[in-house]
Amino acid sequence: MRRLPIFFVLDVSESMAGEPIAQLQSAMESIVEQLRQDPNALETVHISVIAFAGKAGMVVPLVELMSFYPPRLPLGGGTALGEALDELMTRIEVEVKKTTSDQRGDWEPVIYLLTDGRPTDRTDAAISRWRKQYASRAHLIAVTLGGGADTRVLKQLTDDVVALDSGGGDDLSRFAQWVSASVAAQSQALDMGKSAPGISLAKAGEAGISLVKDSDSAPVDEQVVVFTGRCHRNKKPYLLKYNAVSVPGNFGAPAGQGVYGLEGAYPLSEEYFEWSSEGGAASTVSSDQLEGAPPCPHCGAVTSFAMCSCGKLMCCNGPGEQTCPWCADTIEFGKGGGSSFDIGRGQG
Ligand SMILES: [Zn+2]
Ligand SMILES: [Zn+2]
């Protein structure tokens, strides 16, 4: 039996924290559930998951549909698309069987690359390697979530770029429907001996997923800002996520001068740092630009937005002495506060 390898290359950068990653997770579950009901897909489809934030890595190796379980997706800082492509090419070399004189190899692999942001690493070398050595023997479909993805870069990589506008729950469930229907159709066509039917993007339009035709549209800037802090009690990390607020009269404010409203505070595990790129914050935001400071998602302390002189965020339960969970210095928090300060934001 020739296998039909499907690779999901998923952006798990910190802007995906909260709802988006939960929805991506359930989209993966629904794709697998729907495909398992298709006898052709059950015989041929094999799935692998590669994740990327500041670092890229394989999360699930290529396994048959029956033994694939959607993984819990990690989260990290950064969007290392170049590294993700390198990882993808490595996995294709390792996992996909080539046709030789004494074996029939796998079918052409299909790759769904989902991203919601702009690459934070160099992509040129990986993109040109992909175009030269892989584009003719694999089908890569790039899928953008929300308005922040860099379609110009994706268009260099593949002609097939589709957009899920809001990246919200409905979009992702439509995406799941479309992917499972396309993959099932592909495995059926292969079973009937058609040579290279290919995944049809025409069906994407029918499913309400828009095709990105030109590459001129610049990504929407500065939609999400994120910060990492640590709980002063258990030292565990957390993520604070703010979304750009459109203020009347302030529309189109220069980057770094917008206003951001709190979306939520999410507990993180140490794994977050393994998936984040080194090199720290991309830029800074003034605390004046931020509206809302949530309680600590770990210990419930009144604010998760206190800053040590080392420049890192921690939670704080009001005035008094506290030990910084990052640098272990003792700091005295006064009453009131009120002065604004600049903080390094994540890379998204
Ligand atoms: Zn805390
Ligand atoms: Zn400190």
Residues 155/125, Cβ–Cβ less than 8 Å: no
CA of 318 to the centre of ligand 1 (A): 12
- Burial-class residue 340 by CB neighbours within 10 Å (0-12, 13-18, 19+): exposed
**pTM for the structure as a whole:** 0.88
CA of 324 to the centre of ligand 1 (A): 11
CA of 281 to the centre of ligand 2 (A): 16
Tokens at 90, concatenated: 């490595």
For the stretch 59-75, pLDDT in tens is 999 999 999 999 999 99
Please give the single-letter amino acid code of residue 141.
I
CA of 307 to the centre of ligand 2 (A): 8
CA of 162 to the centre of ligand 1 (A): 41
Give the contacts of 55 (CB within 8 A, at least 6 positions apart): 76, 78, 80, 83, 274, 275, 276, 277
Please give the single-letter amino acid code of residue 19.
E
CA of 331 to the centre of ligand 2 (A): 8
Instruction: Give the closest ligand to the alpha carbon of residue 297.
Output: 1
CA of 111 to the centre of ligand 1 (A): 40
Instruction: Give the closest ligand to the alpha carbon of residue 301.
Output: 1
CA of 51 to the centre of ligand 1 (A): 29
Round to whole Å and give the CA distance between 274 and 82: 17
CA of 196 to the centre of ligand 1 (A): 55
Round to whole Å and give the CA distance between 156 and 262: 35
CA of 266 to the centre of ligand 1 (A): 12
Round to whole Å and give the CA distance between 84 and 8: 11
Instruction: Give the closest ligand to the alpha carbon of residue 317.
Output: 1
Query: At 87, is the secondary structure helix, strand, or coil?
Result: helix
CA of 286 to the centre of ligand 2 (A): 18
Instruction: Give the closest ligand to the alpha carbon of residue 314.
Output: 1
CA of 127 to the centre of ligand 2 (A): 40
CA of 18 to the centre of ligand 2 (A): 26
CA of 275 to the centre of ligand 1 (A): 23
4-211 has which fold? Rossmann fold (3.40.50)
Round to whole Å and give the CA distance between 194 and 234: 59
CA of 328 to the centre of ligand 2 (A): 6
Give the residue from 311, 118, 288, 159 showing the smallest Cα distance to 229. 311
- Burial-class residue 87 by CB neighbours within 10 Å (0-12, 13-18, 19+): buried
Residues 87/50, Cβ–Cβ less than 8 Å: yes
CA of 75 to the centre of ligand 2 (A): 23
CA of 233 to the centre of ligand 1 (A): 5
Tokens at 26, concatenated: 């359930």
CA of 323 to the centre of ligand 2 (A): 8
CA of 126 to the centre of ligand 2 (A): 38
Q: pLDDT tens track of the chain, all 348 residues?
A: 789 999 999 999 988 898 889 889 999 999 999 999 999 899 999 999 999 999 999 999 999 999 999 999 999 999 999 999 999 999 999 999 988 888 889 999 999 999 988 888 899 999 999 999 999 999 999 998 877 788 889 999 999 998 886 655 678 888 888 888 888 888 888 877 665 556 777 677 776 777 777 655 555 556 788 899 999 999 999 999 998 887 655 555 555 567 899 999 999 999 999 999 876 555 778 888 889 889 999 999 999 999 998 989 999 988 889 999 999 999 888 775 555 677 777 766
Round to whole Å and give the CA distance between 209 and 202: 10
CA of 304 to the centre of ligand 2 (A): 14
Instruction: Give the closest ligand to the alpha carbon of residue 311.
Output: 2
Tokens at 76, concatenated: 């990290």
Residues 66/42, Cβ–Cβ less than 8 Å: yes
Domain span(s) for CATH 3.40.50.410 in the chain: 4-211
Instruction: Give the closest ligand to the alpha carbon of residue 312.
Output: 2
Helices marked H in the chain:
19-36, 39-44, 81-95, 124-133, 151-157, 169-191, 202-206, 271-274
